[in-house]
Structures are given as structure tokens and as C-alpha cells.
Chain A
Amino acid sequence: MSAVGGALRELLRRPGGVIGVAVVVLLVASAALSLVWTPWPLLHTDIAERWQGPSARHWLGTDQTGRDLFSWLLAGARTTVLVAVGATLVAGLVGVSLAALGSLTPRGVREAVTVLVDLAIAFPVLLIAMLLAATIGGSLTVVVLAVGIGFGFSVARVTRPEIRRVQRSDYVLAARAAGVGRVGMVVQHLVPNVGPTLVVQLSLAASVSVLAEAGLSYLGYGAPSGTPSWGRLLSATQGYIATQPLAVLWPGLTISIATLGLTLLGDALREALDPRLRRSRAASIPTEAAPGAAADAAGADSSTPAPATPSSTVVGEARA
């Protein structure tokens, strides 16, 4: 589809987009590679070689049982990718369902759902995860569900007004008058108009999921022991911070890079997919005087900041 190609070109024209895409590619490639090859077998231990610094033999050194840190880090990407994909799917499902309930139903239901979402949005992802972990025990499923549900509220919050706008727009009225059916309406108008918002939100959900997985695995309620996970590596290396401070650096660094990459991707997608923002950048020189115009152009990258914490379910249009 040329529309997708065009959006991709727009995306790769921005530094944030290039970094974001690169991080995603690297992440997926690492995960895939680790399935067929790691420098050392994951289960290879050698007490004689424990607590080694970086060397040609062990690129990032070894841990307390002599396991190769780089191999574990590489394999940790699997968990990150798995959780990100799962959380994104669940968030999309929850978010779209709630947004649809909040816009396509009779007025009473619509408003009740909207109020519910507004209330639920304050609920931190981590608390949802703890709630689930107390019931069904800690696992990656808990992480996926917690991020999916928690971020699903944010997705609904941002997507619902978009659906409403399309619903009330003149072009939908015109299409309806022209006799376009319900399915046609969804395909022609709803998907192209709401899709971009959704894609942006989902990439932010992925970035939240990376932090959430790390945090929960660190606390012991995410990846089960023996599963390669950056959060687990962080907690494992933490105990030896005095003897091997470098080992602490790597898992934290990979978590940060993955999160940042996905956040940047979300921001870049927001610009690349929104025709209004795209145009404003192309014509970034204010011709008629307005002190704000220049500031707007300069700040186009952050017209709505999208910070992601391990915590807040709300990212993106929080100021709305």
C-alpha cells in the first residue's frame, strides 16, 4: 500500500523515527538471533570464570556462576519482545473496545464508559500487576495483562474523541447521505482517521511494557527464574554491585535504550502520520507575525510530550 510506504518515508525523515526503527529492528534481531545462537550456551556455568570483566572471551563479562552476561542479555530481548507484542495487542483490544463502547453506543452507556475510563486511567500499571500477581502468581502473563489493561485505558481515552470527531464530521454525513453502508463507513473513514492515533498509542504501550517487565521481573513477579530477562539480570547483578559494578550497567542500559527507542518511535509516528503536523513542519517559517508561530515550529516535536514512566498508565495526550 502506498499510504503505508509514504508514512514510512515520512517516519524515516525524522531522527527520532530512524532511532526508533533502528531500536525495534535491533531488538527483534537480537531476540531472533538468540534463538539460534548465543556466544555461550545460556546454561553454561563455570565457577572458575565467575565475575569476569569484559574480555574477548566474555564480551560483557560473567556473573556469579560464570554465566556469560552478553548471551543472557541477548536472550533477554526475547522476553522484552514477547511482552511488548503481547501488551500491545491487549492494550489495542482493550482500548479499541472501550473507545467503541464510549462512542458507538447509546448516550447513557457512552457517558458511563467515558467516566469509567477517566477514573481508571489514574490506576498505575504496577498496582494492576500487583493485584493480578497476588491472585494468579507472578508471570509474564501478568505483565502483559497489566500493561495491556492499564495502557488500554489510555488508548481508549485518546482514541474515543477521534472516533467521535469522525462520527460528527461533515464528510461522514456526506457519505451517509450518499448511501455508504456501515462496513464501508468503517473501512473508508474510521480506520484511516483513527488508525494513526492508535498506532502511536500502541508504540507507546510497547515502551511502557519494557519498563514494566523490567520492574516486575526485578520484584520477582514478572519473568520466572531461569527465563532470560533484563529486569531479572538487573536484580541478579545488583547484589554484586560492590564487586562487579560494570555488570549492573548493561541490563539497565538495554532497558533504557529499548524504552527510549519505542518512545521516540511513538513521537515520530505521531508527526509522520498526522497530516496537519507534517504540513506545519514543511512550512515551518512563519511568514505572518505571531511570536508563537516560531516557537510552535521549534517545538513541533513536543507539542504533546509523551513521557513514559514505569508507572503511569497515561502517556500522550495527558493534558487533554
Chain B
Amino acid sequence: MTLEIENLRIDIRGRRVVDGVSVRVDDGERVGLIGESGSGKSLTALAVLGLLPPVAAVTGRIRLDGRDLLGLSDRELARVRGKQVGMVFQEPRAALNPTRRVGAQIAEALRIHYEISTADALARAVRLVERVRLPDPEGIVQRYPHQLSGGQCQRIAIAIALATSPGLVIADEPTTALDVTVQASILDLFSDVVADRGTGLLFVTHDIAVLARVAERAVVLALGRVVEEGSVSRLIATPAEPLTRRLVDAARATSWRPLEVRR
């Protein structure tokens, strides 16, 4: 599944917050979208699935396997969401409905797109929980989000995103809200499940150290524009832009060493 974002512009109440961003994610490719806060990286990611707030006006072109998503109605876009493209958000706890069991929330993702019984959907939810490496999957699906840790909630969110085996997963800072120790295991999970099935990945982050673990290529954004792009290892080794250098320095400051990049 190929995602092409071309010359994307987003205006919110007359202010241009994303200005001509182009990003391409080839079939099975893992691409990072990196920038500081306010760079428009999250807005770009949300625009793909039509999840921007109603006040945002979007122009440009977003194509999924050649099909223009921007021209679709919300009803048509809803069939793309979850089915072909899965999404994981930043705040795992807030992203899950507090009043529903997590198993039902995973099952819902299946039942929206397939005609299957509740029991079948729940059984598949259990297997998905297994796949995101949570212990006692049968027990977990009966829990409510507040009974799980942040890391566990994020695994559930990943299970939801993977439920229909989408061709592409978009992750919006999925590890930012987690403890450092939990971050690493979630990132490993990401790269493994994505590599398993050849799923494409668009990974939004402000942390180049995180990106080094999950993505091959990255696009650097600043103030709504693309400032640099290239392979993650090249960006780290020879950042051309001051901003990219700043991101690398910021990552180094937290005792990370580029040597740890998994290849």
C-alpha cells in the first residue's frame, strides 16, 4: 500500500499551519515524520485519515494506492480508516473509551468492517492481544482501560490498529507519553509487528532516537514545511539542516548513542 502526500496545506482559522508538505510511504516502507512541536507533523498525519478538527481546511493531494482521499466523504473515508490504514495515538489511556472493556474495543474495530459475530470478534481480539505480547490475554480483554498501565493500554491501541491487518499504520507519537523503559519495548513491538506482515508505517515523533529504532527513512518538518529528508542513518550522521542537528543533539543529550541503531 502506497501513501503519497503531495503539497499538503492546512489552514486553521486563516492561519497556515502546514504549508506544502510532501511525504511518500512506499508499500511496506517505514517512514518517520519528525519535527519539533508546532511543526505540523501530527496535523499532517491526522489529515491522511480525515481526523482533523472541523475548523481545519485542507488542500493538496493525499493518495492511497492512487486513490485520492481528500475528495472522499467522511462515510467513504471511514471505510479506509481502520480497514486499510490503522492509527495509533499519543495518549494511550485517553485513546481508549473508559467505559468499555478493552476486548470489546478491539472487537469493535473488526465488527465495523467485517460481518462477524460478537463471539468471533472477541476470540480474534484475544489473539490480537496475544500478538501485542500481553500476558493473560483472556483476562486482559475483560478489563477496563483504567485497570491497565499506560504501556498495556498502548499495546491494546496497537492491537486495535492491527486488527484488520491494514496495509499501513500511522502512529502519532505513540511512545511519548510512556516511561523510557516501556518505550523501548513498545518500539520493538512496533518494528516487529510491522515487519512481520510487510505493513507500511508512518511514524510521527519529535525524538530521532525513537525514529532510529523503527524507521528507515525520515522527513524533517519545521513550521509546516519540509526542511530535509533522507535515510535515518544519514540524517543522524550528517544532518544538513541546523534543525536536524538540533534534534540529534537533543537525542544525544539523553545518553542515547547512534550505535544502538538496529539494522
Contact = CB atoms under 8 A, between A and B. Distances in A.
Contact, chains A and B (beta carbon distance below 8 A): yes
Interface of A: 284-295, 298
Interface in B39-78: 40, 42-43, 45-46, 51-56
B17 interface: yes
A287 B53 contact: no
B149 interface: no
Contact of B37 (A287, A292, A293): A287
B12 A285 contact: yes
Interface of B: 12-13, 15, 17, 37-38, 40, 42-43, 45-46, 51-56, 172
B53 A286 contact: yes
Given A289-B43, A294-B12, 12 more contacts: A284-B13, A285-B13, A285-B15, A286-B53, A287-B38, A288-B37, A288-B43, A289-B42, A291-B51, A294-B53, A294-B54, A295-B53
A294 B46 CA distance: 14
Contacts of B56: 294
A287 B42 CA distance: 9
Contacts of A290: 53
B17 A285 contact: yes
A291 B43 CA distance: 10
A298 B56 CA distance: 13
Contacts of A293: 53
A294 B172 CA distance: 18
A250 B15 CA distance: 46
27 contacts: A284-B13, A285-B13, A286-B12, A286-B53, A287-B38, A287-B40, A288-B37, A288-B38, A288-B42, A288-B43, A289-B42, A289-B45, A289-B46, A289-B52, A289-B53, A289-B172, A290-B53, A291-B46, A291-B51, A291-B52, A291-B53, A292-B53, A294-B12, A294-B54, A294-B55, A294-B56, A295-B53
Nearest to B55: A294
A284 B53 CA distance: 13
A292 B90 CA distance: 14
Contacts of B45: 289
Nearest to B42: A289
A288 B205 CA distance: 12
Given A285-B12, A287-B38, A288-B42, A298 B55 contact: yes
Contacts of A298: 55
B116 to A, nearest CB: 29
Contacts of B13: 284-285
Contacts of A294: 12, 53-56
A299 B184 CA distance: 38
A284 B46 CA distance: 19
Contacts of A288: 37-38, 42-43
A58 B12 CA distance: 54
Contacts of B55: 294, 298
A139 B111 CA distance: 65
A293 B12 CA distance: 11
Nearest to A295: B53
Nearest to A292: B53
Contacts of B37: 287-288
Contacts of A292: 53
Contacts of B40: 287
A264 B45 CA distance: 40
Contacts of A287: 17, 37-38, 40
B62 to A, nearest CB: 15
Contacts of A295: 53
Nearest to B46: A289
Nearest to A294: B53
Contacts of A289: 42-43, 45-46, 52-53, 172
Sort A-B residue pairs by CB-CB distance and give the 9 closest, nearest first. A294-B53, A289-B42, A287-B38, A289-B43, A291-B53, A294-B55, A289-B46, A285-B15, A288-B37
Contacts of B17: 285, 287
Contacts of B38: 287-288
Residue with the greatest number of chain B CB neighbours at <10 A, chosen from A286, A290, A291, A294: A286
Contacts of B53: 286, 289-295
A141 to B, nearest CB: 49
A138 to B, nearest CB: 48
B72 to A, nearest CB: 18
A287 B46 CA distance: 13
Contacts of B12: 285-286, 294
Which of A287, A292, A295 has most B Cβ within 10 Å? Answer: A287
Nearest to B224: A287
Nearest to A286: B12
A294 B56 CA distance: 9
A286 B43 CA distance: 10
B40 to A, nearest CB: 8
A288 B17 CA distance: 9
Contacts of B42: 288-289
A284 B52 CA distance: 16
B105 to A, nearest CB: 18
Nearest to B56: A294
Contacts of B52: 289, 291
Contacts of B51: 291
